Structure 1
């Protein structure tokens, strides 16, 4: 965990020897201050969220776009008492908020479906997949991108572009079945993936390996997550590029 509540403030650890309690499970958290990696908190008895995974610069960069109070938010199912920690949860005053899960590595279909079912009970859910060269999801995603006019089709007032997955495996074929909104991040760009849940008419006509993307600016994506709450975003992300 990057941030935890300590002395009334949610923050990363600052010095060796600090400790606090996990608001999710009540277990002890101890400061870890590596020489070359980000400071973080570690559970004494193992992470209480079985969906947690190691985080790198990509995770930290996106979490840094949001206020700490909206990052690593514990959520509990009132019926089953199951508890998990959302990467980002931006509430909405009018009702359901938005949960953003940052995914850097492959996960099973079963876990993807479980996360979507859990986080979508009372909120909308967004995935952001790391499609950069350092990601285990795709090392050469850019070679598939083709935004030519011949590939353009309008769905729901937004321009999508039909493309083909040239690499081994059919990773995006699986993500097209998602019940949540799926976004792909490559460098400074964010793309919205046509899924069966949101663009069924487009996805139903696709063959194996085919997919479709709509382009967004980073600012548009952050607004989709944070809504109209300017305090949800850091100054750096508000002032960020196009």
Structure 2
């Protein structure tokens, strides 16, 4: 059973890319657009596996600027031209990545009950596009440019804890909502937060474009969509 009722939180903190923004669909669409110009077909899951391997390396840059480098690394295996201009184009496509179908409505519902905080490994320029696509639901936002680090680094989370303390709250007042076991669910548990796993890939095997965790962390709350979380909150606040 969940450790705390949903009504007990003042804040919901969110992973953005993968939880609210459909980064896998956006990435595959960007690659397929490039591939179509050369008459090449791309298997989406294969492309995500290649992306995951190329993304998490010691020479990785901040996301999504790193997509230009990643493109050059994976293009040959996909039968694409390793042209730096195409890598730059893939990076630029991020500005058009869309929210999941339920994200905007769910966030609008949730902001009626909580202060919403974005915690994203994306750079600030990309988050600005995502925030607009989500209809600006956030009370505060922390990007990798702001924190100087990426989740699952505890330092990222500690900056958020320091922020809510300025508003008279603590980590106990936050429910952390995310799809990534590796970046969010495991570390939030280790830091003593209550968490909520949005299992976006519940109908698809594997971890797709997200690195697999060393071990699975059972979440405090578990939904397969943001809509289901919003509905659960609405039921508790009746």
Scaled by the length of structure 1, the TM-score of the pair is 0.28
Q: Which has the higher strand share?
A: 1
Name which structure has the greater RCO, CA cutoff 8 Å, separation 6+: 2
Q: Which has the higher helix share?
A: 2
Scaled by the length of structure 2, the TM-score of the pair is 0.29
